[in-house]
Amino acid sequence: MTKFIEIAGTGVTAILLHPWRSAVTAGAVTVVLLPYLVCLGLSHGLRLEAESSIQLGADLYVSGIQFGHKVPIPLVAKSQIERIDGVTEVVPRIVGAIAIGRNRESAVVVGMPVDRFATGASFLEGRLPGQNSVNELVLGSELAHRLNLKLDSRIPPFYQNAQGEKVSSVVGIFRPDAPVWQANLILTTLTTAAAIFNQEGLVNDFLVYCRPGYEDHVRAKVLETVSYRAQGSSGGPRPMVIQRTDLTAVLPTGLLGQQGVFELHFVLVFAVGILVVLVTSGLGLSERRREIGILKATGWQTDEILFRSLVEGCLLSLAAAALAIVLGLVWLRVFNGFWIAGVFLYGAGVSPAFRVPFVLAPAPALLTVLIALVVVMTGSIYSTWRAATASPAEAMR
Does 347 engage in binding with another protein (CB under 8 A)?
Answer: no
* Candidates 13-21, 89-97, 273-281, 361-369; binding stretch for another protein (CB under 8 A): 13-21
Check if the beta carbon of residue 325 is closer than 8 Å to that of residue 148.
Answer: no
Does 160 engage in binding with another protein (CB under 8 A)?
Answer: no
Rounded to a whole number, what is the distance in angstroms from the first to the last CA of the chain?
Answer: 33
Does 309 engage in binding with another protein (CB under 8 A)?
Answer: no
Q: Which is nearer to another protein, 47 or 296 (CB)?
A: 296
Q: Which is nearer to another protein, 79 or 298 (CB)?
A: 298
* Candidates 1-9, 104-112, 153-161, 198-206; binding stretch for another protein (CB under 8 A): 1-9
- Provide the β-strand partners of residue 73: 203
Does 301 engage in binding with another protein (CB under 8 A)?
Answer: yes
| Distance from C-alpha of 333 to C-alpha of 271, rounded to nearest angstrom | 29
| Closest CB 313 distance from another protein, rounded Å | 18
| Closest CB 286 distance from another protein, rounded Å | 13
* Candidates 9-17, 115-123, 126-134, 197-205; binding stretch for another protein (CB under 8 A): 9-17
Identified binder of another protein from the candidate list 89, 105, 125, 304, rule CB under 8 A: 304
Does 394 engage in binding with another protein (CB under 8 A)?
Answer: yes
Does 20 engage in binding with another protein (CB under 8 A)?
Answer: no
Q: Which is nearer to another protein, 253 or 301 (CB)?
A: 301
- Residue type at 86 in one-letter notation: G
| Closest CB 285 distance from another protein, rounded Å | 13
The full DSSP string for 257-300 is TTHHHHHHHHHHHHHHHHHHHHIIIIIS-HHHHHHHHHHHHTT-
Classify each residue of 149-183 as buried b or exposed e, where b means 16 or more C-beta atoms within 10 Å of its C-beta. Answer: beeebebeeebeeeeeebebebbbbbbbebbbbbb
Q: Which is nearer to another protein, 316 or 341 (CB)?
A: 316
Nearest residue to 261 via CA among 354, 339, 372, 194: 339
Q: Which is nearer to another protein, 38 or 388 (CB)?
A: 388
Does 146 engage in binding with another protein (CB under 8 A)?
Answer: no
Q: Which is nearer to another protein, 365 or 388 (CB)?
A: 388
List of long-range contacts for 113-121, beta carbons under 8 Å, 24+ apart: 113/189, 113/190, 114/189, 116/91, 116/207, 117/187, 118/53, 118/56, 118/57, 119/174, 119/178, 119/182, 119/187
Identified binder of another protein from the candidate list 123, 300, 331, 358, rule CB under 8 A: 300
Q: Which is nearer to another protein, 163 or 391 (CB)?
A: 391
Check if the beta carbon of residue 75 is closer than 8 Å to that of residue 113.
Answer: no
| Distance from C-alpha of 151 to C-alpha of 331, rounded to nearest angstrom | 30
- 203: helix, strand or coil: strand
Does 136 engage in binding with another protein (CB under 8 A)?
Answer: no
Contact flags string 259-298 toward another protein, x per CB under 8 A? ----------------------------x--xx-xxxxxx
- 86: helix, strand or coil: coil
Q: Which is nearer to another protein, 18 or 265 (CB)?
A: 18
Nearest residue to 93 via CA among 234, 273, 242, 271: 242
| Closest CB 395 distance from another protein, rounded Å | 9
Question: How many residues line the site for another protein (CB under 8 A)?
Answer: 30
Which H helix or E strand runs over 378? helix 363-389
| Closest CB 29 distance from another protein, rounded Å | 22
* Candidates 11-19, 141-149, 177-185, 379-387; binding stretch for another protein (CB under 8 A): 11-19
Check if the beta carbon of residue 78 is closer than 8 Å to that of residue 239.
Answer: no
Helix (H) and strand (E) counts for the chain?
Answer: 13, 15
Taking CA 340 as the corner, what is the angle to CA 339 and CA 341, rounded to the nearest 5 degrees?
A: 95
Binding site for another protein (CB under 8 A): 2-3, 6-7, 9-10, 13, 16-18, 287, 290-291, 293-302, 304, 389, 391-394, 396
